[in-house]
Structure 1
Amino acid sequence: MKAQKNLYRKNFSLITAFLVLITVSLVIAIVISYNLTAKYVENEFASKKIEVLDQTVKPYYDFFQLKIPEITSYQGFLDSASAANYSATVFKSYPFVRKVLFYDIQIGNPSSKKLANKQGISVKTVYQYKPKHGSVKGYKDSVWANDVDFKDMAMKLSNFISVADTSRLPTQDEIFRTFYNVTPDKISYLNIPRREDIRIYQSLLKKGDTKAFYKQNMLTFLLDAHQLKVKNTHPELYQQVTIQPVVYDPLDVEGDRKVTEAALTGAFSNFKLYFISTNQHLTKEIDRRFLPICAIVLLIYFFLVLISWLIYRNLNINLKVFKLQYDFINNFTHEFKTPVSVIKIAGSNLKGDAELSERQRRHYGKILDEEADKLNDLMNKLLSFTQLENRSITVKREEINLQQFVKGYIDTFKIKYPDFKLDFNIENVNKFYSDPVLLGSVFQNLMENAYKYSHPGKKELFINIKPEKRNIVFSFADKGIGMARYEQGDVFKKFYRIENQYNQNGSVGLGLAFCKELVNFMDGEIDVTSKLNVGSTFIVTLPLGH
């Protein structure tokens, strides 16, 4: 019988085509991933500038929303000294403020000769403050007494007082329109009067003979945008960020760099943030982000190749298994054909017409009996092979009297090996349910090993049996040659042999592997602790059974 040559045929063209397909897919995936990453970085270059802008102008917003309104808390009673202290805190926390003007304002009757305008609001004194060596330099400055900022704020305050509804608080919109004046590089602020103060001001601004005056405070902050600290929160995108005038537009824009900008707001509205990055800088960032994506794509590729190799290897294994099965069937068929042919010939002779002598009949009978035994032996081998392959052997649990069971094996080994010192101890257990044949095989192998792997004069074995929770533990402790720690995990592997003088002949490395298989088959565990030239202890743990 010949095996079919086309079964499990290796198609290298199909394998090559598959590898080419996934390789081309890999290249396409890498190209698409790189392009998408480059597009994503380009989009971020255009959008992340808002985050840089927000972080850069955050001190300005803190100054505008938190520090400036503190002036109102003085309720118009700031003087040159307190204004100087306040300016010092401003210069310390907000370096972009380069100068502070403090207007000491008085409000009274418009008909009074002491007032400089018909609105009833005039400047009594103007103080100018500048930072100098960690301190504040301040002096009177009459130049600013009638400047445009003061006139605009006086007009706003006068209009507000004339129409103010003192039954409610002013809205935020009213506060911003009246008490703030924001122009490029400059912020003017007038302290917000209380409602009762507004009622008084309304009466003062009416024509009358009252000569009372009330104080208000106005501060003007002159700013320098170039003193803002640029906080580049995305250096991977923006190589350089500078503050430039809105009209800034360099003529020497090179083609190997990217540029974008974002306008500042408020008093810095005449400036912008100018972002510059070279193409090499952005390419480096694209590569940095692409690397993990490329690694994932390559990992998928190698995973597919590995799967392909495993499938290919599995087909090869199937081919080998098929060949083994074929050879097995072929050999058994050959073994069957020989006795069958002999039986056929003997049977033909027996049923023939010729007369047979007694000697011939016995001869043919012997042939039939021998060939039948061969067939029976072959059938038993085939059955045993099937049982081992399918693990169809069952554990026959019986009640075992441990005292008699252990003593029987000890007596047998004492007769077999007179120099073998054996002893045992059984703690708190008398009966045990298990398969006596399988357990006996474990005992026999471990006791044989204890004798074989011990020096002459030290052939001793102590067997201790004790219950432990729902298990029973058999401990076989000898005083043999022991084994190194690194070898203790391998002694239960098939065909593993420890190289020593006791293993030169008569060992193929199956004894302990057979014990482990038996113990596992009985739902138990086996372990070993050993020390060189001291001895070994094999511990078998089995369920007590019922």
Structure 2
Amino acid sequence: MKAQKNLYRKSFSLITAFLVLITVSLVVAVIISYNLTAKYVENEFSSKKIEVQEQTIKPYTDFFQIKIPEITSYQGFLDSASAANYSATVFKNYPFVRRVLFYDIQIGNPSATARFSNNAGISVKAIYQFKPKHNKVKGLKDMAWSNAEDFREMALKLSNFISVADTSRLPTQDEIFHTFYNVTPDKISYLNIPRREDIRIYQSLLKHENTKAFYKQNMMTFLLDAHGLKVKNTHPELYQQVTIQPVVYDPLDVEGARKITEVTLPGAFSNFKLYFTATNEHLKREIDRRFLPIGAIVLLIYIFLVLISWLIYRNLNVNLKVFKLQYDFINNFTHEFKTPVSVIKIAGSNLKGDAELSERQRRHYGKILDEEADKLNELMNKLLSFTQLENRSITVKREEIDIREFVNGYINTFKIKYPDFKLEYTIDEVTRFYSDPVLLGSIFQNLMENAYKYSHPGKKELFINIRPDKRNIVFSFTDKGIGMARYEQGDVFKKFYRIENQYNQNGSVGLGLAFCKELVNFMDGEITVDSKLNIGSTFIVTLPLGH
């Protein structure tokens, strides 16, 4: 038995080590996954700002790539009225445009009415200013001279382009951007792109200073305000606040209680930036939110592994108990067989010996052989009957039983067998019932044998009470034996189970009560036990009355 205990301890230690290992692995996995989640959120805090920037400047991109080039479609024939209509659509759709300056340009020898011109014969006839919800302002001298630099820069670009332009092909996008656009902080100037045939005419026109022909071009300058952009925070889970600030804006975060990142706006808004802020608590909530499903998955894996550990432990425990029961059964069953076989062998040796035996000795040896054979037969019959009950290969033969006569028969038998066994019984309000007398007799015999076997010398007493209970009959067997602990009462009806005590070290294979339970179940009844250690036990058998 010592080997089995050691095996159990080793198995338990293995399961404990496995539980410790997966618990430590769980803690490490949780820490690593949380740190990785935190790092991932921090990386997103730094990278997702580009998405916010793209969504915020999308109107500006549309304005720059789609709306401004519409001026070219007028082919230089914009006037103050059409320029005003064009400006109205700009103000409506692009609130970051604060003012629009429209330059009515002519190419040829400067006229007397031109406000200003360059040496290449490119001059301005008039300038119109448009504001949201305001009337146009036309040809103001101070306004004209204040914007002379914009015109001169665009006129210089145009004259340089005309002088070297290859009219056999279309201008490249790079040539278009560098010639017809002028992008500076808060300002975009655009000159309509002439056709190739127009460029050839301009080249010819600028070479002949005395020509009197004039050709129109349109130029517009858009004055922008970055604060007119609508910030679109597409990641509020990362950024608590997104604002447009000058590039030189850099407030101090003395306590370090918030996280900051920024990205510069493109083009005419290059002197501004998007400024992103979030408190550490805000980011921690986002980290916790993202970590929650990861933690739940890790926890489920842990529970799954713990469940596997518990199943392994339970199976080891059950297997150990089964092994121990089988070991005890083989050990005790061997002893049960060995004793009568040894006695039979001794008696047989004496009978076949050379010595003369008296009649009294022969009868004595014959009695021994008969008794030991009965013991072996009884043990084999019990095993056979147990197997038949489990396989349901026998049938219940219901007969009318006279209870008093039935009980008296077994009491008288046991008084002869055990003279020191005190037996009493009472029968309340029932005289007969229908059942199988052989099976019921086996129940009586096993319970009465148990009461005698597991009682202290001098206290071998058994009281049997029989009473009706609705449609059932109840048999109570109450002894004053050694009793049993409460935790063992659920196991005593299990096959091969034996309570460890001095009364069952020899001569018990753990089948008696298990056999009784199988019999009672087979007869559609129920058996229970109520016991107190060193006080006694009461076995209660409930069977149907039958008819």
The verdict on a shared fold, with TM-score over 0.5 as the criterion, is: yes
Counterpart check, 1:46 vs 2:43: no
- The CA distance in 1 between the partners of 2:75 and 2:266, in whole Å, is 29
Q: After the TM superposition, which residues 167-206 of structure 1 pair with which residues of structure 2 at under 5 Å, given as runs?
A: 167-206=168-207
Q: Per the alignment, do residues 254 and 373 of structure 1 end up closer, same or farther by CA in structure 2, a change over 3 Å counting?
A: closer
- The CA distance in 1 between the partners of 2:520 and 2:381, in whole Å, is 28
Query: How far does residue 320 in structure 1 lie from its aligned partner after superposition?
Result: 0.8
**Counterpart in the other structure of 2:273:** 272
The superposition leaves residues 41-66 of structure 1 with CA deviations (integer Å, 9 ceiling, x where unpaired) of 22322222222222211211111111
**Counterpart in the other structure of 1:541:** none
Q: TM-score, with normalisation over the residues of structure 2?
A: 0.63
Are the equivalent residues in 1 in contact too, given 2:238–2:278 (CA < 8 A)? yes
- The CA distance in 1 between the partners of 2:200 and 2:64, in whole Å, is 28
**Counterpart in the other structure of 1:72:** 72
Are the equivalent residues in 2 in contact too, given 1:239–1:278 (CA < 8 A)? yes
**Counterpart in the other structure of 2:284:** 283
Query: How far does residue 145 in structure 1 lie from its aligned partner after superposition?
Result: 3.9
Q: Which amino acid aligns with 2:190?
A: Y
Secondary structure of 2:7's partner? coil
Q: Which amino acid aligns with 1:233?
A: T
**Counterpart in the other structure of 2:396:** none
Are the equivalent residues in 2 in contact too, given 1:259–1:274 (CA < 8 A)? yes
- The CA distance in 2 between the partners of 1:106 and 1:42, in whole Å, is 57
Q: Per the alignment, do residues 323 and 251 of structure 1 end up closer, same or farther by CA in structure 2, a change over 3 Å counting?
A: closer
- The CA distance in 1 between the partners of 2:226 and 2:244, in whole Å, is 7
The superposition leaves residues 125-152 of structure 1 with CA deviations (integer Å, 9 ceiling, x where unpaired) of 22211112xxx63232434445211111
Q: After the TM superposition, which residues 297-316 of structure 1 pair with which residues of structure 2 at under 5 Å, given as runs?
A: 297-316=298-317
Q: Per the alignment, do residues 161 and 507 of structure 1 end up closer, same or farther by CA in structure 2, a change over 3 Å counting?
A: farther
The superposition leaves residues 237-280 of structure 1 with CA deviations (integer Å, 9 ceiling, x where unpaired) of 22211111112222565432222221111100111111222222
The superposition leaves residues 441-477 of structure 1 with CA deviations (integer Å, 9 ceiling, x where unpaired) of xxxxxxxxxxxxxxxxxxxxxxxxxxxxxxxxxxxxx
Q: Which amino acid aligns with 1:351?
A: K
Report the number of matched residues. 400
Secondary structure of 2:88's partner? helix
Q: Per the alignment, do residues 94 and 266 of structure 1 end up closer, same or farther by CA in structure 2, a change over 3 Å counting?
A: same
**Counterpart in the other structure of 1:142:** 140
- The CA distance in 1 between the partners of 2:130 and 2:520, in whole Å, is 101
- The CA distance in 2 between the partners of 1:100 and 1:510, in whole Å, is 104
Q: Per the alignment, do residues 509 and 204 of structure 1 end up closer, same or farther by CA in structure 2, a change over 3 Å counting?
A: farther
Query: How far does residue 332 in structure 1 lie from its aligned partner after superposition?
Result: 2.9
Query: How far does residue 234 in structure 1 lie from its aligned partner after superposition?
Result: 1.8
- The CA distance in 2 between the partners of 1:503 and 1:57, in whole Å, is 90
Counterpart check, 1:10 vs 2:9: yes
State which drifts further: 97-106 or 325-334.
Answer: 325-334
State which drifts further: 179-188 or 71-80.
Answer: 71-80
Q: After the TM superposition, which residues 110-129 of structure 1 pair with which residues of structure 2 at under 5 Å, given as runs?
A: 110=109, 116-129=117-130
Query: How far does residue 166 in structure 1 lie from its aligned partner after superposition?
Result: 0.6
- The CA distance in 2 between the partners of 1:8 and 1:99, in whole Å, is 91
Are the equivalent residues in 1 in contact too, given 2:110–2:123 (CA < 8 A)? no
Query: How far does residue 224 in structure 1 lie from its aligned partner after superposition?
Result: 0.3
Query: How far does residue 19 in structure 1 lie from its aligned partner after superposition?
Result: 4.4
Q: Which amino acid aligns with 2:326?
A: Q
**Counterpart in the other structure of 1:482:** none
Q: Which amino acid aligns with 2:316?
A: L
State which drifts further: 184-193 or 323-332.
Answer: 323-332
Are the equivalent residues in 2 in contact too, given 1:98–1:222 (CA < 8 A)? yes
Query: How far does residue 35 in structure 1 lie from its aligned partner after superposition?
Result: 3.0
**Counterpart in the other structure of 2:499:** none
Secondary structure of 1:220's partner? strand
- What is the Cα-based RMSD across aligned positions, in Å? 4.0
Secondary structure of 1:46's partner? helix
**Counterpart in the other structure of 1:412:** none
- The CA distance in 1 between the partners of 2:111 and 2:119, in whole Å, is 9
Are the equivalent residues in 1 in contact too, given 2:231–2:242 (CA < 8 A)? yes
- The CA distance in 2 between the partners of 1:23 and 1:52, in whole Å, is 42
Are the equivalent residues in 1 in contact too, given 2:8–2:317 (CA < 8 A)? no
Are the equivalent residues in 1 in contact too, given 2:343–2:372 (CA < 8 A)? no
State which drifts further: 156-165 or 49-58.
Answer: 49-58
**Which entry has the higher C-alpha Rg, 1 or 2?**
2
**Counterpart in the other structure of 2:327:** 326
**Counterpart in the other structure of 1:539:** none
Query: How far does residue 376 in structure 1 lie from its aligned partner after superposition?
Result: 11
The superposition leaves residues 497-522 of structure 1 with CA deviations (integer Å, 9 ceiling, x where unpaired) of xxxx989999977799xxxxxxxxxx
The superposition leaves residues 33-92 of structure 1 with CA deviations (integer Å, 9 ceiling, x where unpaired) of 333333332232222222222221121111111111111112112222222222122112
Q: Which amino acid aligns with 2:229?
A: L
Q: Which amino acid aligns with 2:283?
A: L
**Counterpart in the other structure of 2:245:** 244
- The CA distance in 1 between the partners of 2:225 and 2:304, in whole Å, is 60
Q: Which amino acid aligns with 1:103?
A: Y
Q: Per the alignment, do residues 72 and 253 of structure 1 end up closer, same or farther by CA in structure 2, a change over 3 Å counting?
A: farther
- The CA distance in 1 between the partners of 2:242 and 2:152, in whole Å, is 38
- The CA distance in 2 between the partners of 1:168 and 1:374, in whole Å, is 120
Q: Which amino acid aligns with 2:101?
A: L
Q: TM-score, with normalisation over the residues of structure 1?
A: 0.63
Query: How far does residue 356 in structure 1 lie from its aligned partner after superposition?
Result: 7.6
**Counterpart in the other structure of 2:533:** none
Query: How far does residue 122 in structure 1 lie from its aligned partner after superposition?
Result: 1.5
Are the equivalent residues in 1 in contact too, given 2:242–2:275 (CA < 8 A)? yes
- The CA distance in 2 between the partners of 1:350 and 1:311, in whole Å, is 57
Secondary structure of 2:5's partner? coil
**Counterpart in the other structure of 1:406:** none
Q: Which amino acid aligns with 2:104?
A: D
Secondary structure of 2:189's partner? strand
Secondary structure of 2:222's partner? strand
**Residue ranges of structure 2 left out of the alignment (5+ in a row):** 394-469, 475-517, 525-547
**Residue ranges of structure 1 left out of the alignment (5+ in a row):** 394-500, 513-546
**Counterpart in the other structure of 1:491:** none
- Identity over aligned residues, as a percent? 74
- The CA distance in 2 between the partners of 1:149 and 1:46, in whole Å, is 38
